[in-house]
Chain A
Amino acid sequence: MSRIAVTVNEKEHLIDVAPDTPLLWVLRDSLGLTGTKYGCGMGLCGACTVHLNGEAVRSCQTPVASVGAKKITTIEGLSPDRSHPVQRAWIAEQVPQCGYCQSGQIMQAAAFLAKTPHPTREQIDEGMNGNICRCATYQRIRRAIQRASGQNA
């Protein structure tokens, strides 16, 4: 165990964990930020996606000790009031069914759109291909991303 400092959603935390603990479990079990989900533990499904300095990463594959001074943003910190364009688009398109994967989908989409503000359908499919939704809400995810990018869905 060692004492590790992390900055999550602009708040600093000191935590006592083994340094190889994946960020996912630090967020969920140490900090109580349960919006970030466990899905596979192998970086295969994207349910655990968070931002490190704005980049989408799989928190289940990110040892907490590797984060350093980078700023972590989770779904809880994406906006204070569901006002991020991606969240608004997700509501407008009524994307979620069970909703379990949607935190990861939204974090992935937000980081993707920051880099690709006007994506084509093919770019969306490529950018979102690492995120599994078993309710298979994929076509609404596509529409919501188009809407968030200002394109008519």
Chain B
Amino acid sequence: MIPQTQVSRREFVKTSVQIAGVLILGFHLPERGGAQELPSGASVKVFKPNAWLRITADNQIKVLVEKPELGQGSRTYTPMLIAEELEVDWSAIQVEQAPTIPSIYQGLRTGGSGGVASTFTPMRQVGAQAREMLISAAAQQWKVKRRDCRAENGTVVHGPTNRRVSYGELVEAASKLPLINPDEITLKQPKDFRLIGKPMPRTDVPSKVDGSAAFGIDVRVPEMLFAVIVRCPSFGGKLQTFDASAAKAVPGVRAIFSVPPLPRHFNTAGGVAVVADSTWAAIQGRKALGLTWDKGPTSETTEALHDSVERQAAAPPTFIAIDRGDAVEVLAGPVKKLEAFYESPFQAHATMEPMNTTVHVRDNEIEVWSPTQFADEVQDEIAKLSGLPLDKVIVHMTLSGGSFGRRYQWDYAAEAWQVAKEMKKPVQLLWTREDDMQHDFYRPYNYQRLCGGFDDQGKLVAWSTRVVTTPISGANLYTGFTESSETLKDPATVAALEWYGADIAPYSIPNFRLDYAPTDSVVPRSWWRSVSSSYTPFAKESFVDELAHARGRDPFQFRMDLLTGTSPDTERLRRVLELAVEKAGWRVPLPKGRGRGIACRSGEVCSAQVAEVSVDDDGTVQVLRVVAAVDCGIAVNPDGVRAMTEGAINFALTAVLTGEITIKDGAVEQSNFHDYQVLRINQAPDVEVHIVPRVEDPSGVGELGAMLIPAAVANAVFAATGVRVRRLPIDPQLLKRSQS
């Protein structure tokens, strides 16, 4: 029996990454939360209703944000949610990163676009709890009925007399009150929102225009040293010998020693560390090292991988993920069949801030400064490595210079600890761009075989999809606790990581089968902005387009005709499709060499994109304009939704137009931005984001834009040239030939 599964990735993330009962402790152990972050001094009185909020006697309001700030806006949406219920002026709020105390703060991580959704209710409760206690304090002070008092702009007002007292003046009285259970407080209705739903400026922007924003690489502590590690270029290789004599002579170099690889759970390569007075001296010292490697398994190449995924596309599946109706039988019968193969290679994260972490190992205590999106895991892992208890490992989660999934791994923090424990001083381990490019955890190599069948009335009656990947399951740090063969037997894990996004629902096609087969690889893999949805909709939405054209139908209308169900998802999807088409001017004719393409997806967030492209004589594709319609529930910060969508679309365009990580001799061939070419401003289209007005609870959009742009562009290229793109990045040669 092969189990069927339909686990959304959000469900997966919720159950496996976030802990059920999140926030409970933060509401009930207020005296501990963020204690070291408080202003000191006897004259300052502070009201601490819970672990996330501090109100001082002089009316300063401090919000402690758990979620890492990677650029996605956690330091803006979190205070918005709190301020909404607290009834304070936005400008009164100061923001700090919550300390890494996982017994109190259980959301010290973010992933799967889950930040806004997972904090929407709890963070409003944080503000509401404080507000209700402040109202009680005022009512008691005035000896009036509580129900005659209300909160307004940082004060409590007594309605009948119009008396008014500031929150600051109530700090002492409110602190003496018993805590109010946040679950018993009625939260505001969407119609009463003052902040939620309004475009708010980001709290971190001022510090990001004057150089004062401190990222991991900017950590400066007294007497610190700087280090780099040289790793074996090929995956799975090991250090044989090293000669440090010339390197030791480089001015500023302090120490050179080998670092062992850490096992599978950490997936670090090991190598030789060079520690110096400055980053440059460490890099120069590294260049002077003599090194011999046991290169390990070096047979893997991109060409061999291609052959392997092609074989797996025809091999028996590991399991059948979805089987509605009987697609196999119908497709074997008398239908008009169409079959197509889609391929997308490895991609690097290439965050602008390369991996780094600063660690100070002291007697019985370790202090860590890390640009991570998983602070509590970093703490846990370094505690395990060092044998120290959790509370002796102090982790500061710094700003991150981009992440896109990369900083969900803790390999670089573990390496930094390995180096720092050999030194008596704090050490900042930096990955150079080359290290970062060649030792990433890459977006999986993937290949999909799609087959569709029309009956003799021209109705699309069957569809099958085979997804083949170099799986994250089993290769990834987070899920890789078991060997790949075991992990690959867990359909929920595989669903979440390998094929989520490939289900054709809510298209009404009576027979659908989705199955999966893995391909092995020595290349480390992990999540890359939108995980499997960075490639499954490329195949699905390209193939819908192919089917539409096969029937001579308009691709938008063809999709609408498949959306005949009555589910809410169908309704939402129809609406975003119509909105995108309307705003894009779908039916307005374009000059020769230009085309429009459409793609859509449903789920927690429903969205449709229309891309407009031009194809030059030399086959160069220029994406001119993208219109995105987004239904994400209530848009907490609409400007944040726009920024994320603009960014995710343009981020993913790298993988559509130029970016590709290739493998030769078991190593990555690219090393820097000259050969891993990322999108630059002259290639970046203007993105128009249209948000469907909603009042339902929000879902995250950090990954959304990345899901649809590959198919939207490929479909637009077909409209412009009649050439079907089935492998990314787009090969201009393919289009050049077609143009001539």
Binding site for B on A (CB under 8 A): 1, 17-18, 21-22, 25, 28-30, 32-42, 44-45, 47, 74-76, 78-79, 82, 87, 90-91, 94-103, 106, 124-126, 128-129, 131-142
Interface centre among A1, A28, A87 (most CB of B within 10 A): A28
Q: What are 18 inter-chain pairs, A to B, with CB distance below 8 A?
A: A18-B280, A29-B277, A41-B283, A41-B432, A41-B433, A45-B352, A47-B352, A82-B210, A97-B647, A99-B399, A100-B352, A100-B353, A101-B352, A102-B209, A135-B71, A135-B352, A136-B648, A139-B684
Q: A44-B672, A134-B352, A137-B646 are in contact. Are A94 and B639 (CB under 8 A)?
A: yes
Give chain A residues whose Cβ lies under 8 Å from the Cβ of B643.
94, 97, 137, 140
Give chain B residues whose Cβ lies under 8 Å from the Cβ of A28.
279
Contact present for A42 and B433 (CB under 8 Å): yes
Q: A28-B279, A36-B211, A82-B209 are in contact. Are A97 and B72 (CB under 8 A)?
A: yes
Give chain A residues whose Cβ lies under 8 Å from the Cβ of B651.
134-136
CB of A55 to closest CB in B, whole Å? 19
Contact present for A134 and B682 (CB under 8 Å): no
Give chain A residues whose Cβ lies under 8 Å from the Cβ of B402.
97-98, 100, 134-135
CA–CA, A28 to B219, complex, Å? 10
Give chain B residues whose Cβ lies under 8 Å from the Cβ of A82.
206, 209-210
Contact present for B352 and A133 (CB under 8 Å): yes
CA–CA, A98 to B284, complex, Å? 29
B205 proximal to A (CB < 8 A): yes
Chain A residue at minimum C-beta to C-beta distance from B277 = A29
B213 proximal to A (CB < 8 A): yes
Give chain A residues whose Cβ lies under 8 Å from the Cβ of B639.
94
Q: Which of B79-87, B265-273, B673-681 participates in binding chain A? A: B673-681
Contact present for B71 and A75 (CB under 8 Å): no
Give chain A residues whose Cβ lies under 8 Å from the Cβ of B202.
94, 96
State which of B251, B278, B283, B352 has its C-beta within 8 Å of the C-beta of A37. B352
Contact present for A18 and B251 (CB under 8 Å): yes
Chain A residue at minimum C-beta to C-beta distance from B278 = A29
Contact present for A40 and B201 (CB under 8 Å): no
Sample of 4 further A-B pairs with CB below 8 A, known A100-B215, A103-B211: A36-B211, A74-B211, A91-B209, A132-B352
The contact string, 1 if C-beta is below 8 Å from chain A, for chain B 653-696, is 10000000000000000001110001111101111000000000
Q: A39-B433, A94-B205, A101-B352 are in contact. Are A75 and B682 (CB under 8 A)?
A: no
Q: A36-B211, A140-B646 are in contact. Are A134 and B278 (CB under 8 A)?
A: no
Give chain A residues whose Cβ lies under 8 Å from the Cβ of B354.
38-39
B226 proximal to A (CB < 8 A): yes
State which of B71, B201, B279, B432 has its C-beta within 8 Å of the C-beta of A94. B201
Contact present for A25 and B278 (CB under 8 Å): yes
CA–CA, A128 to B683, complex, Å? 11
Give chain A residues whose Cβ lies under 8 Å from the Cβ of B201.
91, 94
CB of B684 to closest CB in A, whole Å? 4
CA–CA, A128 to B207, complex, Å? 22
Interface centre among B206, B209, B644, B686 (most CB of A within 10 A): B209
CB of A74 to closest CB in B, whole Å? 7
State which of B73, B350, B647, B681 has its C-beta within 8 Å of the C-beta of A131. B681
Chain A residue at minimum C-beta to C-beta distance from B284 = A18
Give chain A residues whose Cβ lies under 8 Å from the Cβ of B401.
37, 98-101
CA–CA, A21 to B673, complex, Å? 22
B404 proximal to A (CB < 8 A): yes
Q: A44-B672, A45-B352, A96-B205 are in contact. Are A138 and B684 (CB under 8 A)?
A: yes
Contact present for B209 and A90 (CB under 8 Å): yes
Q: A25-B280, A103-B211 are in contact. Are A134 and B681 (CB under 8 A)?
A: no
Contact present for B352 and A76 (CB under 8 Å): no
The 8 closest A-B pairs by CB, nearest first: A35-B211, A100-B401, A98-B71, A136-B650, A99-B208, A97-B71, A75-B211, A138-B684
Contact present for B646 and A136 (CB under 8 Å): yes
Give chain A residues whose Cβ lies under 8 Å from the Cβ of B569.
none
CA–CA, A128 to B206, complex, Å? 21
B384 proximal to A (CB < 8 A): no
Contact present for A138 and B681 (CB under 8 Å): yes
Contact present for A134 and B678 (CB under 8 Å): yes
Please report the total number of B residues contacting A with Cβ < 8 Å: 67
Give chain B residues whose Cβ lies under 8 Å from the Cβ of A138.
650, 679-681, 684
Contact present for A42 and B684 (CB under 8 Å): no
CA–CA, A55 to B651, complex, Å? 29
B151 proximal to A (CB < 8 A): no
Q: A29-B278, A94-B639 are in contact. Are A129 and B681 (CB under 8 A)?
A: yes
Chain A residue at minimum C-beta to C-beta distance from B682 = A125
Contact present for A87 and B399 (CB under 8 Å): no
CB of A140 to closest CB in B, whole Å? 7
CA–CA, A139 to B70, complex, Å? 19
Give chain B residues whose Cβ lies under 8 Å from the Cβ of A100.
215, 351-353, 401-402
CA–CA, A17 to B687, complex, Å? 46
CA–CA, A139 to B673, complex, Å? 21
Contact present for B210 and A87 (CB under 8 Å): yes
CA–CA, A40 to B684, complex, Å? 21
B204 proximal to A (CB < 8 A): yes
Give chain A residues whose Cβ lies under 8 Å from the Cβ of B259.
none
Give chain A residues whose Cβ lies under 8 Å from the Cβ of B646.
136-137, 139-140
Contact present for B353 and A45 (CB under 8 Å): no
Contact present for B217 and A34 (CB under 8 Å): yes
CB of A48 to closest CB in B, whole Å? 11
B141 proximal to A (CB < 8 A): no
CA–CA, A35 to B678, complex, Å? 23
State which of B210, B218, B399, B430 has its C-beta within 8 Å of the C-beta of A98. B399
State which of A40, A128, A136 has its C-beta within 8 Å of the C-beta of B673. A40
Chain B residue at minimum C-beta to C-beta distance from A143 = B686
Chain A residue at minimum C-beta to C-beta distance from B403 = A98
CA–CA, A42 to B432, complex, Å? 11
Give chain B residues whose Cβ lies under 8 Å from the Cβ of A140.
643, 646
CB of A135 to closest CB in B, whole Å? 5
Contact present for A35 and B433 (CB under 8 Å): no
Give chain B residues whose Cβ lies under 8 Å from the Cβ of A90.
205, 209
Give chain B residues whose Cβ lies under 8 Å from the Cβ of A91.
201, 205-206, 209
CB of B510 to closest CB in A, whole Å? 40
Instruction: Give residues of chain B (616-650) contacting chain A, Cβ–Cβ below 8 Å.
Output: 639, 643-644, 646-650
Q: A29-B278, A42-B674, A136-B646 are in contact. Are A34 and B352 (CB under 8 A)?
A: no
Chain A residue at minimum C-beta to C-beta distance from B650 = A136
State which of A44, A78, A128, A135 has its C-beta within 8 Å of the C-beta of B681. A128
Contact present for A106 and B209 (CB under 8 Å): yes
CB of B140 to closest CB in A, whole Å? 43
Contact present for B279 and A25 (CB under 8 Å): yes
CA–CA, A75 to B211, complex, Å? 6
CB of B128 to closest CB in A, whole Å? 28
Interface centre among A1, A87, A106, A134 (most CB of B within 10 A): A134
CB of B657 to closest CB in A, whole Å? 12
Contact present for B279 and A29 (CB under 8 Å): yes
CA–CA, A141 to B650, complex, Å? 13
State which of B72, B206, B432, B680 has its C-beta within 8 Å of the C-beta of A132. B680
Interface centre among B211, B399, B402, B646 (most CB of A within 10 A): B211
CA–CA, A76 to B673, complex, Å? 26
CA–CA, A131 to B214, complex, Å? 20
CB of A122 to closest CB in B, whole Å? 8
Q: A94-B205, A139-B686 are in contact. Are A132 and B211 (CB under 8 A)?
A: no
Chain B residue at minimum C-beta to C-beta distance from A32 = B220
CB of B247 to closest CB in A, whole Å? 14
State which of A41, A42, A75, A98 has its C-beta within 8 Å of the C-beta of B353. A98
Instruction: Give residues of chain B (382-441) contacting chain A, Cβ–Cβ below 8 Å.
Output: 399-404, 430, 432-433
State which of A1, A33, A40, A136 has its C-beta within 8 Å of the C-beta of B679. A136
Contact present for A34 and B218 (CB under 8 Å): yes
Chain B residue at minimum C-beta to C-beta distance from A122 = B682
Contact present for B278 and A30 (CB under 8 Å): yes
Interface centre among B73, B212, B432 (most CB of A within 10 A): B212
